[in-house]
Amino acid sequence: MGNPLKQALAANEMQIGLWLNLGDASAAEIAGQAGYDWCLIDGEHGPYNPTAILGQLRALAAFNAEPVVRVPIGEDWVIKQVMDLGVRSLLIPMVDTPEQAAHLVRATRYAPDGHRGLGAAVARASGYGADTGYVARANDEVCLLVQAETRAALENLDAIAATEGVDAVFIGPADLSADMGHRGNPGHPEVRAAIADGVARIRAAGKAAGIIHYDTADFAYYRDLGITFLGTGADASLLRAAMQANVAAAREALDG
């Protein structure tokens, strides 16, 4: 069966998804119903602890959207906890060197390929021990995405992308633009040029490239650039925009 997100990215198939930042299982359930290829539980910037992540995973379990978890930091113990919850697709922020990337590959794999702690017998990942084949196939199902979001990461991008075991490199436009001196302006020409160059280098290494962008007018641009892991919005921002539009429409209708 395998990991459908990992397989699709390897086959160069576009995968669109949604950021989940509200920390609410009902929002995750609605997102799962919507038909996204993946939904990202944002443990870096959302109000998540392992219990909250577990609630989101259970809400998404009834749907085809692959749960991706962005951990707050690429520490072994954080990765271990999240993977034992049943997560097989991870996005790790602030990866600046190939050494970091290689360490993360090992942190997400059982020995002898890595050093992930072997506690699946009592974890949700194996159905609390009911899935006796989990340990044997777990390494093969890992989909590891690392974030390049600094000038240092771009300098090391060829080596990061070439790291065996990394499935995709995600360019973080917000932090990258800040590090380049254009904080709050990821659309600055220098940032866009750096992203375009970065995507080309990621693809040249044979890996999938990812980004998040909210403006539908640019989606085709990123597709043509070579992006296949495309975040198209976030639950928080979509809810805000829908509510603001609803209020504006109501006031227009009532004031007319």
**Catalytic site positions:** 45
- Give dist(CA 210, CA 15) in Å, integer: 9
| Cα 69 to Cα 140, 142, 200, distances in angstroms | 18, 12, 25
* Contact of 215 with 235, CB cutoff 8 Å: no
Tokens 């979001």 correspond to 149
Helix axes 235-255, 25-34, angle to 10 degrees: 80
- Give dist(CA 151, CA 100) in Å, integer: 15
How far, in whole angstroms, is CA 40 from its chain's centroid?
5
- Give dist(CA 52, CA 220) in Å, integer: 34
- Give dist(CA 102, CA 135) in Å, integer: 21
Token pair, residue 112, equals 């002898």
- Residue 105's nearest CA partner among 161, 57, 43 is 161
Q: What are phi and psi of 181, to 5 degrees?
A: 90, 15
* Contact of 67 with 48, CB cutoff 8 Å: no
Per DSSP (E only), the strands in the chain are 15-20, 38-42, 66-70, 89-92, 143-148, 168-171, 208-212, 227-234
